[in-house]
Amino acid sequence: AEISGTLPMGIHPSANCLLLIGLVTTLGGSDDKIIGGHLAPSVPFLVSVQESRRHRCGGSLLTVSEVLTACHCIGQFSKKQDDPVEYISVFDPSIFRIHAGDRDLLGLSPDAQTRRGKAVNSHPKCKMVDKSPQFDFAVIVTVTPFNWTSHVHPIGLYSASKALYDSRIASIDARSNCWVLGWGKTSSHKSTRYLRMARMKVVPARICRRLLSSKDPIYETHEFDEKAQLCALGVNGSESDCTGDSGGPLICDGDIVGVVSYGFECGRNDSPAVYAKMSDFVEWYASIKSPHLRKSSSQRTNGLTLFRCAMTIYLLWIMYTVVLLSRDDGAGLHRARWMAKGIYAIKVYMFRGEFKMTKKEEVAITELWMFVVSIYVYHWFQAPSCRFAPRNDLKLLKDLKAYNKVNEAIAEVALKKFSGHLWYLSEVLVAFAFFDENVPLETKTKMVQALENEGQEDTLRRITIDSRVIEMSSLEDFVSQNTRKFFSITGLSPDFLEREVVTWESDPEYLHIKNIVSSMRVVNDIAERGVALMEEYNKLHTQNEEQKQYLLLTVKEFRKKFPDSRKSTLLK
């Protein structure tokens, strides 16, 4: 491997392009809610729950026949005598009209579909206590299923396990991309006909409790977890959810984690939104599903093939466009060869209308595009420096393995192909992870201990990993005695390895080395070296566009000379 000191010009998820479609949420005055925000693209799983042809609440398609919304959207709360608790009385399901496939509520798009409600199920614990809805979940079943199209189809849930869903929600942090979507009010008095979205940040219960208690003292002792609730604030304080957004999803990094429930004031940065927490929904949801609906819900996983989360895909599409226009490099595995493959996949998808294709071919191209944008590009932006690359590449392997549930064919091929190119997980380059502040101290300690393990004879060969144990793999599994060669290759001192891991971030020597490592990049492939050398050479003689044309002509001439470009032909 060749290690050089050129700083990669990566684009991190916090780049300005995120702000183009930022999504935000806070609480609304009575029960529903997006103040400000931005126009959203078409979202296949998002629906408008309507009454008398007027938008009432948002919702999410879980299957072609089931809509997740808020409990308070499908009925009216009322008190029993001498009981401070208010219980829900559900409306006749036939009054509900479910509108999907068009972000314009007044539009006449041929892609739009409408279905009537046949049944309504409210969560058995749904109730109103002190004007606060608890377990605010409901499922509307339609009379006839929606037709599965590219504009209308379900989104899958993260897990059917409450424990796993709780763990997923607990993992949300400041780096998570969270969004709320809806057709609610865009100002204090005016509703919107177009789907809008706003960016949110999930906040801990203690912060939410402090902010809400200034609105109502009863929140000083409010236990959000016990009431199936979580809170979020708008990233931009002037944007929030508002009347009409209730029942819509709160989405973090592609997973529905909450349902818009209630709040106090629209568009204030000191007024959090409260959401019904999805981990308290999934087990009840599984218990009410009939065999027919279970069969229908099996299509939810396939829905991820096209649009696991349209907002996340839309975001990544914009980020990738920025890369293509600016020619900035990513980090990790993404260099000349893989960038070219990604660009090619997206170009084919963009111009698919220019080709005569069967329905099967069009679906296959769409699935490939979805993989490139949701998996490939996503990991590109997660490693703007080499020191993040080992952790990122290991996560890529695990995500490729998990993608098997979305598209088995693509996942199997991609896992096999990528695993041969993740050289940051080689026994030498995994040392970059010593300088990644996002690697837990416990893992770094195990990595130091693993330096005593015997390694492979050829340390620069592509890694081999058993796909059956990827989920259980950790960074220390790639460390061996050979990892010390990283320091001899770079000329950096490994002395900090002899000191306690917990002291590294305050160790001047370690911080100096970390600063040097942050500016390194790696070339480990003959094709990449060739491209890099060619680019350097041509920069002396051409402008950017001329260089591109020169390379294209070179490839064209090469193909004429060697129409069958296999190794055997070249040897002849």
pLDDT in tens, 406-463: 888 888 888 877 776 677 888 888 999 999 988 999 999 999 999 999 887 765 556 6
pLDDT in tens, 149-188: 878 989 888 888 888 898 889 888 877 888 888 887 655 4
Long-range own/partner contacts, residues 493-497 (CB < 8 A, 24 or more apart): 497/434, 497/448, 497/451
Q: Is 554 helix (H, G, I), strand (E, B) or coil?
A: helix
Residue in the block written with tokens 């990790």: 332
- Inform me whether the pLDDT recorded for 238 exceeds 60: no
Q: How far apart are CA 387 and CA 141, in angstroms?
A: 49
Give 214 or 56, the one with higher predicted confidence.
56
- Give the confidence band of 115 by pLDDT, cuts at 50, 70, 90: very high
Residue in the block written with tokens 């008095």: 189
Residue 164 has a pLDDT of: 87
User: Could you tell me the residue ranges of all domains in the chain?
Assistant: 16-303, 329-523, 527-571
Contact 110, 42 (CB under 8 A): no
Contact 184, 32 (CB under 8 A): yes
Phi-psi category of residue 507: left, alpha or beta, with phi > 0 → left and psi -120 to 50 → alpha: beta
Q: What share of the chain is helix, strand, coil (3-state, %, to 5)?
A: 45, 20, 40
Mean pLDDT, all residues of the chain: 74
- The tokens for 314 are 């839309």
Q: What is the DSSP letter of 69?
A: E
Burial 198-216 (b: 16+ CB within 10 A, else e): bbbbbbeeeebbebbeebe
Helices (H), 451-566: 485-490, 508-517, 526-539, 544-561
Residue 316 has a pLDDT of: 52
Q: Is 492 helix (H, G, I), strand (E, B) or coil?
A: coil
- The H-or-E segment that residue 340 falls in is helix 336-350
Question: What is the architecture of the domain spanning 16-303?
Answer: Beta Barrel (2.40)
Contact 64, 300 (CB under 8 A): no
The answer for residues whose C-beta is within 8 angstroms of residue 83's C-beta and 6 or more apart is: none
- The tokens for 390 are 């080992």
Give 37 or 193, the one with higher predicted confidence.
193
Residue 300 has a pLDDT of: 36
- Inform me whether the pLDDT recorded for 515 exceeds 80: yes
- The H-or-E segment that residue 368 falls in is helix 359-371
- The tokens for 558 are 């090469």
Residues comprising the chain, all counted: 572
Q: How far apart are CA 44 and CA 97, in angstroms?
A: 17
Is residue 446 packed enough to be buried (19+ CB in 10 Å), middle (13-18) or exposed (0-12)?
Answer: middle
Inter-CA distances, 99 with 38, 115, 282, 326, Å: 21, 7, 24, 40
Is residue 145 packed enough to be buried (19+ CB in 10 Å), middle (13-18) or exposed (0-12)?
Answer: middle
- Beta-carbon count within 10 A of 330 CB: 26
DSSP for 167-232, written as a single string: HHHHT--TT--EEEEES-BSSSS-B-SB-EEEEEEEE-HHHHHHHHHTT-GGGGG--TGGGTEEEE
Q: In the predicted model, what is the mean pLDDT of residues 512-522?
A: 83
Contact 334, 9 (CB under 8 A): no
- For the chain, how far is it from start to end, CA to CA, in angstroms? 30
Residue 484 has a pLDDT of: 93
- Give the confidence band of 67 by pLDDT, cuts at 50, 70, 90: very high
Q: Which residue from 424, 406, 403 is spatially nearest to 414, judged by alpha carbons?
A: 403
Q: In the predicted model, what is the mean pLDDT of residues 1-19?
A: 27
- The H-or-E segment that residue 120 falls in is strand 113-122
Q: What is the DSSP letter of 481?
A: G
Contact 263, 250 (CB under 8 A): no
| pTM for the model | 0.49
pLDDT in tens, 320-370: 555 444 444 444 444 444 555 666 667 777 766 666 778 787 788 788 877
Contact 265, 29 (CB under 8 A): yes
Burial 40-77 (b: 16+ CB within 10 A, else e): bebbbbbbbbbeeeebbbbbbbbbbbbbbbbbbbbbeb
> 38 - beta bridge partners?
197
